């Protein structure tokens, strides 16, 4: 396992995405203070799970996000990604590469990822446990960590040794097991409390259950008798009423005829009104669309004006660039001519040097021949030479020194001439550099002007883009809001749909019948009463209360179907249910016209419910005699006023029954069957509407997004132009700096040359005086040997001639050498001038290329602008056509509205006529109904009793009633049952089910307790095993680290040094602190504080070296730990550190030269832009190889 790369983006000073690639070689990170070196180690700590803001040198975690500079805005997030090679599967992830990423937003939201998948901080920490890379490991060592290991208490040093021992993972497992053990103990306590509570309740519940069973038996018998007696009385009343019902039938038929006519007319009015409203809505949409098209046309015309202005600006810019290219080509030709002239001079000088080489070789050949002749004539003049030897030596010495003085004077004169020429050339070059610098400064001024113009244009586009982005974000926020509401309503609708499909709240018998109908096993079933009704939400609670159990009644085709349903329930033992045959049910009507004028009266319940026409009689049968009022006070008042003849239900579900009894109280929190259905229907309509709104919001968002993207392209283009201008400015300023530097060098060289000229003139004067003295000495020697030379004149003329020739030839060679040196200096000067002019020419070529690229970009931009203008003009033409169509739609809609209003007026008049006829027959019907009231009241009392007491309709009661031989005896038995039930007192009927539930729970909790106690014992065994394993591993690792520490301490501090690690409490290995004993040679140290700062650092480094030797970590970063070391210890530190490079990737952050020289790869951290860190890499090992070759 090893690190491959570290990607930093927006973290502290690394604003731009920066990638640091790790190597197998030791790597150094250098840079000036404040440039952000240590931010690299902070990034590593952070991505590996560091949670302490102060550890990362901040006050709060938000401080790690790039906070901006004077030229840059703060970033909204910080991200660090660490890529690890995992081909050896050292990490528990089945992948060759593992990338750990951490991202923090300025809002405080953060996320962790492993190979792009979201994960938790805990997952990352557990994955790195035992590798030395964790938050508390030793993979990142800073100055604070060095001081901490020396100055900390013994117990505080344990963490690093635990990580080195590889027991951090085991400690984590042990801590998790201890948490689970604590949780198990809490669960045991809680389970025992529950069991103890159930043990106390079971005896009481058993008694209550037995009493409830007896009461249930008595109540069942009482119910059976009350239903049978009530059914018998009901049959007597029904026979008396039947005759009156026949008389009323004809009048009601006439009344219904006129009522249907009025309903048809009213439906036509409503349809016409709805159609009118739809047309009006369409009219408004057409008008809005017309306004939108007008606005779109105006916006596109404004855009065309902006783009045409861009074309004019590009034309001006193109003319300017053409002139700049011409100027650059002219300057380039001037440089070419100068280079050719200097190359011609170099060729001339090279010819002169070659000619001098030939002359020198010829003279040296002659000099050798003459020297050979002189040697052959030495025998003839040996006697004279012995006499004249001393004189010749004296003369020769004076002569040689004179020649040397003369030669030095000549050489010095030549040097003086050369330096004089250099001074003149330097002054000429200074003039040329001044002209070049002026041209560069002019170019820089032009760049400033262009940048200002581009910046103004960029700011305008950015403002337009910000507006589009703001609208886009607003549209997205609105869409998100609608989407959230839509999701909430869809989820609620799905929940209600699932509940409806499962028929939650229905009895088992009803579920079975509906299921059989859906499966085709039972035909003729229409559904339950709750399925066929709907109403205003205001009346849901009242209608649910009024219907009661009748909501679950099954609507069937006829009596035969009802019988088949009953047989099915009997055969399947599915329970009992009430069937309502459509052909048998007769509606009931509450004939109290005065109710309509009563304050608080809402209406008759059957009139407030909507259903299909075929179910009208059923709904009137169930609700026709129930009045709905606003509150209980109104209900009580109306019941008293009308003699408690009918049932009254309030909007909140309170009931005043026929006969005067009250039923009421609080309702359960759960929704009723009808309210659930109502809510589902409402949600369906809401979902349809929200989907339409969401589509509109998404369309608006996409439109703004497309416009913002278009502006973003423009902005990117202008930003590229700004960057090009900045790059060109950087190049020009570098060139300006070069000219300035060359001018300063030439000025300095000129000053040195002038000082040398003065020295040369003084030396020439001294050489002239020395030459005069040497020549006088030669003349004196010549006089002394004149006599002897006269004697040898005849025989020694050849030797004298040879000596003269030798002297002449030697002088000639010296002259040639001096001239050759001067020629070579001229050649070097010409080459320097050529290189300078070639550099200037290349700079001009680069400028010309940049200008041509800019012109090409302008041409491409002009083409895009023209295309866009043409497209906008076509769109304007298309929108103009749309406007004509919109105007036609508006006129047609207004005409249709006028025709509908005339038709609606006529239908209102027809309704008034039909209502007059209906009222006539209604009055006649009321007169007949008054005659049957007496009989009806008694009948209704029986119906109310059955409904209120047993939630049974008459038909249900008839089915359940048994034949009575003696009606009076049955009534006496019923009275006796009531007395027995009263004697039992309060009975908890729920105790039967409660006793069963508590008994089952008691058995389950007892078994659960046994499982938890077994789990506790297993956890205790696991903790004991882990504790023993941790102790053994820690002791073995500690002994090996201590052994390595002793060896490395002596190796670093020298012979006589002693270092040792000890446990402060060997009896308690798991909690013992660690003591450091360290004594450099010749010192007795009782406390580490007595050591110098450098010695303390070396002690800490030695401990880390011992740990790395025992358990190498895949990666280790040392952050300026060598700051307190002297140069000698720095060399020891880096030399020993490199020994670990074969097993551990090493990276050091340092200022020390010795540490840098010991590394193979160098990363420089610098701030080219103030406040923004950047990286520069150099491979020192490759450079060293090149130097050796």
- So what's the pLDDT on residue 752? 64
Mean pLDDT of 1058-1087: 80
- Residue 14: its pLDDT value, please? 93
Cα of 409 vs its chain's centroid, Å: 82
Angle between helices 1093-1110 and 143-151 (to 10 degrees): 90
CA distances from 163 to 23, 128, 193, 391, 828 (A): 24, 11, 43, 94, 66
β-partners of residue 610 are 534
Q: Are strands 18-21 and 2-9 parallel, antiparallel or unpaired?
A: antiparallel
Considering 169-173, 318-322, 584-588, 903-907, the range whose residues carry the highest mean pLDDT is 584-588
Q: 83 pLDDT exceeds 90? A: yes
Tens digits of per-residue pLDDT, 734-752?
677 666 766 776 676 666 6
Please say if the pLDDT value at position 1188 is more than 50: no
- What is the average pLDDT value for the chain, to the nearest integer? 78
pLDDT in the model for residue 801: 65
Over residues 384-388, mean pLDDT: 57
- 547 vs 208: which has the higher pLDDT: 547
pLDDT at residue 107 tops 50 = yes
The length of the chain in residues reads 1189
Cα-based distances in Å from 161 to 126, 1034, 1063, 1106: 18, 8, 12, 11
Question: pTM of the prediction?
Answer: 0.37
- Cβ distance 442 to 727 under 8 Å? no
- pLDDT, tens digit (0-9, with 9 covering 90-100), for 809-852: 666 666 666 566 566 666 766 676 676 666 666 665 666 676 67
Note the pLDDT of residue 332: 65
Domain boundaries, the chain: 1-139+1114-1130+1144-1189
| Residue 155 in this model has a pLDDT that exceeds 80 | no
Ranking 121-130, 427-436, 1022-1031, 1142-1151 by mean pLDDT, the lowest is 427-436
Question: So what's the pLDDT on residue 670?
Answer: 45
1077 token code pair:
């004993």
pLDDT, position 734: 66
Q: Where are the alpha helices (DSSP H) in 624-672?
A: 632-641
Distances from the Cα of 958 to the Cα of 182, 235, 563, 949, 975, angstroms: 65, 9, 13, 15, 21
User: What is the DSSP pairing of strand 110-114 with strand 117-119?
Assistant: antiparallel
The pLDDT score that the predictor gives to residue 1187 is 39
- Range of weakest confidence among 215-224, 382-391, 675-684: 382-391
Per-residue pLDDT at 389 exceeds 70: no
Q: What is the pLDDT of residue 748?
A: 66
Q: Can you point out the beta strands (E) in 74-213?
A: 77-85, 97-105, 110-114, 117-119, 140-142
Q: How far apart are CA 121 and CA 50, in angstroms?
A: 10
Q: Which residue has the higher pLDDT, 343 or 596?
A: 596
Mean pLDDT of 663-680: 70
Question: pLDDT by residue (tens digit) across 244-282?
Answer: 777 777 777 777 777 778 778 878 877 887 887 787 778
**pLDDT confidence of residue 826:** 66
Structure tokens at 25: 């070689």
Question: What is the distance between the alpha carbons of residues 1151 and 1159, in angstroms, rounded to a whole number?
Answer: 13
Q: Give me the DSSP letters along 407-423.
A: HHHHHHHHHHHHHHHHH
Taking 3-state DSSP, the helix, strand and coil percentages for the chain, each rounded to the nearest 5, stand at 70, 10, 20
Q: What does the DSSP 8-state code read for residue 608?
A: G
Other C-beta atoms within 10 Å of 943: how many? 22
Antiparallel, parallel or unpaired: β 97-105 and 77-85: antiparallel
Q: Report the alpha-carbon distance of residue 1102 to residue 1073 in Å, rounded.
A: 19
- Strands 647-650, 626-629: pairing kind: parallel
Per-residue pLDDT for 650 more than 80? yes
Residue 1067: C-alpha distances to residues 161, 874, 1023 (Å): 18, 92, 19
Mean pLDDT of 288-295: 72
Q: Give the pLDDT score at 111.
A: 92
Q: Is the dihedral of CA 467, 472, 475, 477 positive or negative?
A: negative
Is the CATH code 3.40.50.300 the one for domain 1-139+1114-1130+1144-1189?
yes
pLDDT of residue 629: 95
Is residue 918 within 8 Å of residue 258, measured between CB atoms?
A: yes
Average pLDDT estimate for 388-399: 59
Q: What is the pLDDT of residue 660?
A: 84
pLDDT at 989 over 80: no
Structure tokens that stand for 297 in this block: 């046309």
């Amino acid at each position: 396992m090893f690190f491959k790369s570290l990607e930093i983006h927006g973290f502290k000073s690394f604003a731009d995405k920066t990638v640091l690639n790790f190597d197998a070689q030791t790597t150094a990170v250098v840079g000036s203070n404040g440039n952000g070196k240590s931010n690299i180690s902070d990034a590593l700590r952070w991505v590996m799970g560091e949670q302490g803001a102060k550890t990362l040198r901040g006050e709060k975690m938000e401080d790690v996000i790039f906070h901006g500079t004077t030229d840059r805005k703060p970033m909204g997030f910080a991200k660090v990604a660490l890529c690890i090679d995992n081909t050896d599967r050292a990490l528990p992830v089945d992948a060759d590469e593992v990338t750990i990423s951490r991202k923090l937003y300025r809002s405080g939201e953060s996320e962790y990822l492993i190979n792009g998948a979201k994960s938790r901080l805990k997952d990352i920490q557990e994955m790195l446990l035992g590798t030395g890379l964790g938050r508390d490991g030793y993979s990142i060592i800073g100055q604070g960590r060095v001081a901490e290991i020396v100055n900390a208490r013994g117990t505080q040093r344990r963490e690093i040794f635990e990580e080195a021992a590889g027991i951090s993972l085991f400690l984590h497992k042990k801590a998790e097991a201890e948490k689970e053990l604590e949780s198990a103990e809490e669960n045991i306590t809680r389970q025992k409390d529950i069991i103890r509570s159930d043990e106390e309740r079971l005896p009481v519940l058993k008694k209550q259950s037995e009493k409830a069973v007896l009461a249930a038996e008595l109540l069942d018998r009482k119910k059976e008798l009350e239903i049978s007696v009530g059914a018998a009385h009901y049959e007597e009343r029904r026979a008396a009423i039947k005759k009156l019902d026949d008389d009323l039938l004809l009048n009601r038929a006439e009344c219904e005829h006129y009522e249907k006519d009025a309903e048809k007319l009213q439906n036509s009015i409503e349809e016409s009104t709805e159609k009118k409203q739809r047309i009006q809505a369409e009219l408004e949409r057409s008008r809005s669309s017309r306004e939108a098209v007008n606005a779109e046309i105006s916006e596109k015309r404004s855009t065309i004006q902006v783009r045409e202005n861009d074309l004019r600006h590009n034309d001006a810019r193109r003319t300017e660039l053409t002139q700049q290219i011409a100027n650059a080509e002219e300057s380039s030709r001037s440089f070419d001519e100068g280079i050719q002239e200097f190359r011609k001079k170099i060729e001339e000088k090279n010819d002169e040097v070659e000619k001098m080489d030939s002359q020198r070789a010829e003279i040296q050949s002659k000099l050798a021949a003459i020297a050979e002749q002189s040697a052959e004539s030495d025998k003839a003049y040996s006697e004279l030479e012995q006499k004249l030897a001393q004189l010749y030596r004296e003369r020769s010495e004076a002569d040689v020194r004179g020649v040397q003085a003369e030669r030095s004077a000549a050489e010095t004169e030549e040097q003086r001439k050369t330096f004089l020429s250099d001074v003149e050339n330097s002054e000429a070059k200074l003039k040329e550099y001044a002209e070049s610098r002026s041209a560069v400064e002019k170019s820089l001024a032009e760049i400033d002007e262009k940048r200002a113009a581009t910046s103004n244009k960029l700011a305008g586009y950015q403002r337009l883009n910000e507006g589009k982005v703001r609208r886009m974000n607003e549209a997205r926020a609105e869409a998100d809001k609608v989407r959230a509401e839509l999701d909430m309503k869809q989820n609620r609708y799905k929940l209600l749909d699932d509940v409806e499909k499962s028929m939650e709240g229905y009895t088992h018998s009803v579920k079975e019948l509906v299921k059989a109908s859906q499966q085709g096993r039972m035909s003729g079933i229409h559904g339950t009463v709750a399925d066929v009704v709907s109403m205003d939400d205001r009346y849901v609670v009242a209608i649910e209360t009024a219907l009661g159990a009748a909501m679950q009644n099954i609507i069937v085709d006829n009596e035969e179907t009802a019988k088949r349903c009953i047989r099915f329930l009997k055969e399947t033992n599915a329970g009992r249910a009430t069937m309502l045959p459509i052909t048998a049910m007769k509606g009931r009507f509450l004939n109290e016209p005065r109710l309509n004028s009563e304050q608080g009266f809402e209406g008759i319940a059957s009139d407030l419910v909507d259903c299909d026409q075929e179910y009208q009689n059923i709904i009137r049968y169930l609700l026709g005699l129930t009045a709905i009022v606003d509150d209980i006070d109104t209900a009580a008042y109306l019941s008293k006023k009308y003699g408690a003849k009918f049932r009254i239900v309030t909007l909140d579900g309170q009931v005043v029954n026929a006969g005067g009894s009250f039923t009421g109280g609080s309702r359960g929190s759960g929704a009723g069957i009808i309210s659930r259905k109502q809510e589902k229907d409402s949600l369906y309509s809401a979902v349809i509407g929200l989907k339409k709104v969401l589509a509109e919001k998404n369309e608006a968002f996409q439109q703004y997004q497309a416009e913002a993207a278009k502006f973003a392209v423009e902005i990117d283009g202008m930003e590229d132009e700004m960057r090009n201008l900045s790059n060109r400015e950087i190049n020009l300023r570098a060139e300006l700096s070069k000219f300035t530097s060359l001018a300063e060098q030439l000025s300095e060289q000129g000053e040195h040359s002038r000082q040398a000229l003065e020295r040369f003139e003084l030396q020439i004067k001294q050489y002239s005086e020395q030459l005069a003295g040497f020549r006088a000495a030669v003349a004196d020697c010549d006089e002394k040997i004149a006599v002897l030379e006269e004697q040898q004149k005849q025989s020694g003329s050849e030797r004298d001639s040879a000596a003269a020739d030798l002297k002449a030839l030697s002088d000639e060679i010296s002259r040639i050498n001096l001239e050759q040196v001067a020629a070579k200096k001229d050649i070097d000067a010409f080459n320097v001038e050529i290189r300078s002019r070639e550099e200037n020419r290349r700079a001009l070529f680069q400028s010309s290329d940049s200008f041509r690229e800019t012109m090409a970009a302008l041409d491409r931009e002009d083409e895009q602008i023209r295309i866009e203008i043409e497209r906008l003009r076509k769109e304007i033409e298309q929108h103009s056509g749309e406007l004509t169509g919109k105007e036609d739609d508006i006129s047609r809609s207004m005409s249709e509205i006028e025709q509908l209003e005339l038709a609606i007026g006529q239908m209102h008049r027809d309704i008034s006529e039909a209502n007059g006829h209906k009222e006539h027959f209604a009055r006649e019907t009321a007169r007949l109904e008054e005659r049957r009231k007496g009989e009806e009241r008694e009948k209704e009392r029986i119906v109310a009793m059955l409904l209120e007491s047993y939630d049974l309709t008459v038909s249900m009661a008839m089915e359940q009633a048994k034949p009575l031989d003696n009606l009076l005896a049955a009534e006496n038995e019923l009275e006796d049952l009531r007395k027995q039930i009263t004697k039992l007192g309060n009975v908890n009927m729920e105790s039967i089910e409660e006793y069963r539930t508590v008994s089952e729970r008691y058995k389950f909790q007892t078994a659960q307790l046994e499982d938890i106690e077994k789990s506790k014992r297993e956890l205790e065994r696991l903790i004991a095993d882990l504790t023993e394993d941790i102790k053994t591993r820690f002791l073995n690792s500690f002994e090996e680290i201590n052994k390595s520490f002793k060896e490395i301490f002596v190796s670093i501090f020298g012979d006589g040094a002693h270092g040792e690690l000890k446990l402060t409490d060997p009896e308690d290995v798991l909690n013992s602190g660690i003591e450091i004993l360290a004594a450099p040679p010749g010192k007795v140290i009782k406390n580490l504080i007595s050591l110098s700062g450098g010695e303390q650092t070396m002690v800490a480094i030695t401990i880390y070296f011992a740990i790395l030797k025992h358990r190498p970590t895949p990666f280790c970063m040392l952050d300026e730990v060598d700051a307190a070391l002297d140069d000698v210890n720095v060399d020891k530190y880096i030399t020993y550190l490199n020994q670990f490079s074969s097993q551990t990737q090493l990276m050091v952050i340092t200022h020390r030269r010795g540490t840098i020289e010991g590394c193979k790869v160098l990363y420089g951290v610098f701030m080219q832009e103030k406040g923004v860190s950047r990286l520069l890499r150099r491979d020192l090992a490759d450079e060293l190889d090149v130097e050796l070759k």
